Every structure is written in C-alpha cells, then in structure tokens.
Amino acid sequence: MSARPRGERRLAEFENHRAAMLGLAYQMLGDVGRAEDMVQDAWLRFQRVDGEVDAPRAFLTKTVARLCLNELDSARARREQARGDRLPEPIDLRSRGLASLELLDRVSMAFLVLLQRLTSAERAALLLHDVFDFDHKEVAEILGRSDAACRQLLKRARASLSEGRRSIVVSREEHARMLDAFLRACSAGDRQELMNILADDVVMVADAGSKGGTFGRVRNLSGPLVGARRVSAFLAAATPQGAADLATQTCELNGQPSALVLRGQGVAAVIQLAIADGRVQGIFMQADPERLARIIHQVASGSRRSVSDPS
C-alpha cells in the first residue's frame, strides 16, 4: 500500500477527532491558542507513527492529555494558576468548529472556572474518565500513577465540582433574560435591582491581565469578590463611572449568551454569567487583552457575524 493513501486516511481520521481533541485541550488549559498548539503537536506525532493505529481516537486523546499535562507543569502555567483572578479565554465555538460538540455545558465559562480549581492531574482524570470514557487503568497509564491513586483523584475532582456546581445549565431564554437584566442594572447603577438578581453567595471574578487596569476611578479587583452585598456595591459604584464611553453587544460565547463590552470599535471586555435557581451565581469579566485577542480581531476585522448572536 502506498504512503499517500495511508497519509490521506490518517488525515481523515485526525480531522474526524479534531474538534474533540481541541475541546479536551481547551478544557485542560483554558487558552485557545495553546490548545491549538497541543492539537497540532498531537497531529505531528500521529503522522510519525509507523504502521496502522488501531484506535486513533484513543491515541490522540492520550497524546493531547499528556501534552497538556506537560504544558500545565511549565513555569509559565504555574505562575498563571497562582493568580486568583485568572479566567479562561472566552471562545466562539462556531469559529473553532466546536458548535456541535456534545455536552456544551462542559465548555461553559462556569464549568471551566470550576475545572481550574482542580489540580492538573485531577482535571485530566475527570475529563478522561467522565467525558472520554477511559477506564481507571488507562487513566493511570496516562498520568503515570497507580489505579488506586487515580480513583482518588477522580473522587476528589467530582467532590470539588459538586460543591461549586449546583446547576449551571439553564435554558438559553432564561440565560439571555438574566444577562439583559444584569446589564441594565449595572448600567443604571441600580444596587437594589442587582441585589434582586444576584445569589447571596455570588462570586465575581474580573481578569484584567497581568498589568491590571481601571474602570472609572476603581482599580481592577485583586481577587474574586464574594457575596451579593459586596458585588452589588462594587458594580453600582464602578459601572456608571466607567461606562460613559462604553456600549454592550450580546453574542454567544462558550455556548451561552454573553456580552461584549465595546469601546469605540474595539472590545474592552467580555461578560459571562453562571445562572441557577433564577439568580446570578457567578460573574466572569474577562478584560485581559491577550485573552481577548481573537475576539478583538473578529470585531476589528468587521467579522461580527462569527461572534454568534444568541438570538
């Protein structure tokens, strides 16, 4: 059999699993560019395998998982993970070929933030076992740990997620309605209305990047802000000050209704919410230019249609 037909088959096999591999890498790393690098590296390794690969999906999944674990062990990743305000990069699923990805709630910002609370090994164990259906023995082989140790990793990961994830999956209509109510209350500086829509234990995380930033006369938060009274007071005071030259545009990111905060023709921030029981449980404000670069480029190039309208 000629090399060309095998190469074509291998490319077709890789393309068949590319979206799932990118989804895994993005869940592990929270960064689209780095996730794409891991998938590309996995493709190069897949190409170099002699002979046939009996289970391409398993081979690619194991390769991507190991590459991501190595990346998370790097010095840069450790520095980023040490920051309490670090948020994953928002993603337009359609533009990355992930719109048909199963279990879209697993790439919601709320779920990704919960994943980041886990160690890299716990994160890998959870995703490989619960999402990609690897058994404990296979997970142990990938992580280089015993079967019993991997069972404990999975147990701790599930427990950690269950504590923070009461229910982050609501209908698109309810999510859009709550996002609109939140944006209106912020714009008006209406603290009472914010209190009405925020959960008592709401958590707000604002990521302005390594250099920080200001909003009106208020500097960015040094870490997560917890509690409806504190969050509503901050938003009611800060938003009217900083909103004079800003506008908002609703869109769909991470499979859920989201908001672009626009300054002129550029994107200053992305706002995403976690909603459960009719209240806002989490507020995620991504204002790091490095993690907004792809969305900024889409808007600047006039390709707003690729930042999907939730309606």
Which amino acid would we find at residue 94? R
pLDDT at site 237: 84
Residue 262: band (very low, low, confident or very high) from pLDDT cuts 50, 70, 90: confident
Does position 1 have pLDDT exceeding 50, yes or no?
no
Q: CA-to-CA distance for 80 and 78, rounded, in angstroms?
A: 5
* CA 238 centroid distance within chain: 25
| Domains of the chain: residue spans and CATH | 3-83+119-163 (1.20.140.160), 172-306 (3.10.450.50)
Does position 228 have pLDDT exceeding 70, yes or no?
yes
pTM above 0.85, yes or no: yes
Residue 192: band (very low, low, confident or very high) from pLDDT cuts 50, 70, 90: very high
pLDDT at site 199: 95
Report pLDDT digits (tens) over 102-117. Answer: 656 678 899 999 998 8
Q: CA-to-CA distance for 262 and 252, rounded, in angstroms?
A: 15
* Helical (H) or strand (E) element with 103: none
- 237 Cβ partners below 8 Å, 6+ apart? 189, 218
Nearest to 150 by CA among 172, 126, 171: 126
* CA 217 centroid distance within chain: 29
3-state secondary structure (DSSP) of residue 290: coil
Counting other chains too, the contacts that 69-74 makes at CB distance below 8 Å and 24 or more residues apart are: 69/28, 69/120, 69/121, 69/124, 69/143, 71/29, 71/34, 71/38, 72/28, 72/29, 72/120, 73/120
* CA 184 centroid distance within chain: 25
- 226 Cβ partners below 8 Å, 6+ apart? 201, 202, 203, 204
